[in-house]
Structure 1
Amino acid sequence: MMGTVTSDSGKVPARPGVRSLLDQRIHVDISDYWWILRRRKALVVTVFCVMLTLILLYSKTREPVYQSACDIRISARQPMAVIQGAHIAFFGQGDSAMDTEMELISSDIGMLNKTLINLREKAKGSSDLSQPVIDFIDAMTPNELSGHITATRKKVGTQLVTIRVKGPDSGFTKIVANTLADTYQKSFADNKTNDALETKEFIEQLLESHNAELREIKDKIRDQSALLAELGSTETLKNQLSVQRAELTKAEIRYTQKHRVVIDLKAQIAQIEERLRAHPPPQLELAALMRQQEMMTSLSETIFTQVVTARIDYERKRSSALEEIQTIKPATLGYKQSPNIRMNAVIGVIFSLLLASIAAFVWEGMDTSIGKIEDVEQLTNLPVVAHVPIIGEVSKTPIYKFWRWQWDDVRNAALAMAVKCGFSFASQWKRQDVRTAALSRVLFNFDQKSVPAEAYRSLRTNIDFAMRGLEKHKILAITSSSPREGKTLTSANLAIAVAHMGKSVLVIGADLRRTELSNLFRIEAHPGLSDLLLGAVTEDEAIRTVTDLLVSDTEWDKIMNFQGIDNLHILTAGDPPSNPAELVGSDVFRELLDGFREHYDYIILDTPPVLPVTDASIIASIVDATLLIYQSNKTSRHLLLRAIQTLEKNHANLIGIVINQLSFDVTMPRSRKYGSYQGYGYY
Structure 2
Amino acid sequence: MPTTRYELNLYDYIRILKRRKFVFFTGIISGLLFSLIYTNLQTPVYQAVAVVKIEPSLIIPGVATEMFGWDMLNAVNTEVKVINSAVIAERTAKKLGLITDTTPKEIASAVISSIQNKIQAERVPDSNLVKIIAISSNKDEVAKLANTTAEVYIEKGIEDRTRRAKELREFIEKQLVDAEQNLRNAEEKLRKFTEETKTTGVGRQLAIELLTLQAKRDELLKIYTEKHPDVVSINQKIKFIEEQLTKLPKEELEYARLTREVKLNEDLYTLLAKRYKEAQISEADRVQTAVIVTPAKPPTSPVKPNRMTNLSLGGFIGFILGIIFAFVVEHLDTSIATIEEVETYLGLPVVGVIPHIEDKTKKRQKFLFLKLKDEISDIKNKLVIYHSPKSPYVETYHTLRTNIKFSQEHVETRGIVLFTSAGISEGKTLTSVNFALASALAGIKTLYIEFDLRRPLVHRWFGINRVPGITDYILGRKMYEEVAHTTTDFLLGGIEIERIIATPGLENFVFISCGNIPPNPVDLLSSSKTFDVLTELKEKFELVVIDTPPVLLFADALILSKYATYVILVYRVGRIARGALKRAKDMLLSIKANLVGVVLNDIRAEEMEPRYGYYYAYKYYTKEK
TM-score range, shorter chain: 0.5 to 0.7
Tell me what 2:92 maps to.
115
Structure 1 unaligned spans of 5+: 3-16, 122-139, 202-308, 412-431
Residue 125 (structure 1) aligns with: none
Shift of 1:56: 8.2
* Larger mean Cα displacement after TM superposition, 188-197 or 573-582: 188-197
1:148 is matched with which residue: 118, 128, 144?
118
Deviation at 1:632, TM superposition (A): 3.4
Which of 450, 459, 470 is residue 400 of structure 2 equivalent to? 459
Contact between 1:388 and 1:455, CA under 8 Å: does it hold in 2?
A: yes
1:383 to 341, 346, 349: 349
Q: Which residue of 1 aligns with 2:175?
A: none
Gaps of 5+ in 2: 99-109, 171-274
Provide the aligned length of Structure 1 versus Structure 2. 507
The equivalences for 1:217-616 within 5 A come to 323=289, 326-327=290-291, 329-336=293-300, 338=302, 344-345=307-308, 348=311, 351-352=314-315, 355=318, 358-359=321-322, 362-363=325-326, 365-366=328-329, 368=333, 369-370=335-336, 372-391=338-357, 393=359, 400=364, 403=367, 433-466=374-407, 469=410, 474-616=415-557
The 2-side partners of 1:34 and 1:396 are apart by 28
Q: How does 1:623-662 map to 2 (within 5 A)?
A: 623-662=564-603
CA–CA distance in 2 between the matches of 1:535 and 1:357? 65
Alignment partners' CA distance in 2, 1:103 and 1:381 = 80
| Cα deviation, residue 511, structure 1 | 1.4
Offset of residue 680 of structure 1: 2.3
Judge which range, 66-75 or 639-648, deviates more.
66-75
Q: Percent identity?
A: 26
Instruction: Choose from 141, 145, 149 the match for 1:176.
Output: 145
Amino acid at match of 1:333: K
Match of 1:166 among 114, 130, 135: 135
User: Hey, what's the Cα distance between the residues in 1 that align with 2:328 and 2:414?
Assistant: 41
Equivalent residues of 1:56, 1:345 under 8 A apart: no
Report the equivalent of 1:291.
none
Conserved 8 A contact 2:562-2:593: yes
Q: Aligned to 1:660, what secondary structure does the other structure show? A: strand
TM-score, normalised on structure 1? 0.59
Q: Report if aligned partners of 1:109, 1:142 keep a CA contact under 8 Å in 2.
A: yes
Change in Cα spacing, 1:150 to 1:654, as seen in structure 2 (3 Å) is farther
Contact 1:52 1:345 survives alignment (8 Å): no
**Distance in structure 2 (CA, Å) of the matches to 1:328 and 1:32:** 64
Q: Distance in 1 between matches of 2:164 and 2:48?
A: 38
Q: For residue 430 of structure 2, give the secondary structure of its aligned residue in structure 1.
A: helix
Q: Identify which range, 642-651 or 346-355, moves more after superposition.
A: 346-355
Q: Distance in 2 between matches of 1:580 and 1:391?
A: 34
Asked if the contact 2:608/2:616 (under 8 Å) is kept, the reply is yes
Q: Any conservation in 1 of the 2:466–2:513 contact (CA below 8 Å)?
A: yes
Shift of 1:508: 1.6
Residues 295-340 of structure 1 deviation map (CA, whole Å, 9 limit, x = unaligned)? xxxxxxxxxxxxxx999989969999975xx457443425545369
Query: Are residues 163 and 449 of structure 1, via their aligned partners in 2, closer, same or farther at CA, if it must alter by over 3 Å?
Result: farther
**Residue pair 1:480, 1:630 contacting (<8 A) in 2 also:** yes
Give the AA of the match of 1:28. L
The equivalent of 2:48 in structure 1 is 67
- Deviations 1:546-595 (CA, angstroms, capped at 9, x unpaired): 34333323324423442222222223222122222233234433343333
Asked if 1:32 is matched to 2:12, the reply is yes
2:8 alignment partner AA = V
How far did 1:483 drift? 1.4
CA distance in 1, matches of 2:578, 2:587: 14
Distance across 1 between alignment mates of 2:579 and 2:550: 15
- Counterpart of 1:675, as a letter, is Y
1:392 CA displacement: 5.1
Instruction: Answer whether contact 1:478 1:628 (CA < 8 A) is retained.
Output: yes
Separation in structure 1 between the aligned mates of residue 119 and residue 278 of structure 2, nearest angstrom: 36
CA distance in 1 between counterparts of 2:575 and 2:365 reads: 15
Separation of aligned partners in 2, 1:314 and 1:576 = 122
Question: Residues 396, 528 of structure 1: CA spacing in aligned structure 2 closer, same or farther, 3 A cutoff?
Answer: closer
Is contact 2:53-2:292 (8 Å) kept?
yes
Q: 1:527 to 1:534 in 2, by over 3 A?
A: same
TM-score (norm 2): 0.64
The answer (yes or no) to whether the contact 2:49–2:143 under 8 Å persists in 1 is: yes
Superposed displacement of residue 532, structure 1: 3.3
Q: How far is the alpha carbon of 1:603 from its aligned partner?
A: 1.7
Query: Over the residues paired in the alignment, what is the CA RMSD in angstroms?
Result: 5.2
SS of equivalent residue, structure 1 residue 522: coil
Distance in 2 (alpha carbons) for counterparts of 1:676 and 1:64: 55
Aligned with 1:466: secondary structure? coil
Instruction: Give the Cα separation in 2 of the matches to 1:104 and 1:657.
Output: 83
What amino acid does structure 1 have at the position aligned with 2:119? I
Give the Cα separation in 2 of the matches to 1:396 and 1:354.
Answer: 34
Quote the Cα distance in structure 2 between the aligned partners of 1:354 and 1:669.
29
The alpha-carbon deviation at position 462 of structure 1 amounts to 3.0
Cα pair distance change 1:671/1:659, threshold 3 Å: closer
Would the alpha carbon gap of residues 102 and 616 (structure 1) be closer, same or farther in structure 2, given more than 3 Å must change? farther
The alpha carbon displacement at 1:34 in A equals 2.9
Over 3 Å counting, the alpha-carbon distance change for 1:392 and 1:89 in structure 2 is closer
One-letter amino acid matched to 1:176: L
Question: Shift in Å at residue 28 of structure 1?
Answer: 3.2
Give 1:622 shift: 4.1
Distance across 2 between alignment mates of 1:457 and 1:627: 15
Counterpart residue identity of residue 145, structure 1? I
Distance of 1:154 and 1:51 partners within structure 2: 38
Structure 1 residues 154 and 459 mapped into 2: Cα distance closer, same or farther (>3 Å)? farther
Asked if structure 2 preserves the Cα contact closer than 8 Å seen for 1:382 and 1:655, the reply is: yes
Matching residue's letter, 1:163: I
C-alpha distance in 2 between matches for 1:402 and 1:633: 22
The whole-number CA distance in structure 1 between the counterparts of 2:365 and 2:353 is 19
Instruction: Kindly indicate whether the alpha-carbon contact (under 8 Å) linking 1:581 and 1:614 is maintained by their aligned counterparts in 2.
Output: yes
Question: 1:601, CA displacement in angstroms?
Answer: 1.8
| Whole-angstrom distance in 2 between the partners of 1:468 and 1:500 | 26
1:607 deviates by: 0.8
